[in-house]
Structure 1
Amino acid sequence: MCQHQPPCPTAESADRESARLTAHHPEQGWSLLCNGVLLFEDTGELLPDGQIIAPHRPHGAGRVVTAA
């Protein structure tokens, strides 16, 4: 799929999320990467072969902690 040089990581690569964006729809909560991966704002993924990668956001991400 990727026509970039150097090419983006494949959908099977561990670093697949570092591929370039081809479509970004933050209002809908998803982005399409150059390698065909659909990346969702909750960090879940849908791979081109239909495999689902569960959200893998680190615990506590997005939480605001304030001192008492």
Structure 2
Amino acid sequence: MCSHQPPCPSADSADREAACVVASRPEQGWSLLCNGAVVFDDTGELLPDGRTVEPNRPAPALV
């Protein structure tokens, strides 16, 4: 999908979030990357093949 030079990371690579944003809907909390992945503001992801990546949230602080 990516036509950038050098090519952006694929949706299967660990650094997939480094791909360029091609569409953004900040009011809805998501962005489409040129590798086909959709990333959400909560850090969750939807990959082009339908797999999901759970949000990477920090552990709650102990009081």
TM-score over 0.5 for the alignment?
Answer: yes
| Counterpart for residue 29 of structure 1 | 29
Partner residue of 1:46?
A: 46
Superposed CA offset, 1:35-67 (max 9, x none): 00000000000000000000013335xxxxxxx
Q: Deviations 1:3-33 (Å, cap 9, x if unpaired)?
A: 0000000000000000000001100010000
Aligned to 1:63: none
What's 1:7 paired with?
A: 7
Pairwise CA RMSD = 0.9
Consecutive unaligned residues in structure 2, runs of 5 or more: none
Aligned length: 60
TM-score, scaled to structure 1: 0.84
Q: TM-score, normalised by structure 2?
A: 0.90
SS in 2 for 1:22: strand
Unaligned runs of at least 5 residues, structure 1? 61-68
The runs of at least 4 aligned residues of structure 1 exceeding 6 Å deviation read none
Identity over the aligned pairs, expressed in percent?
67
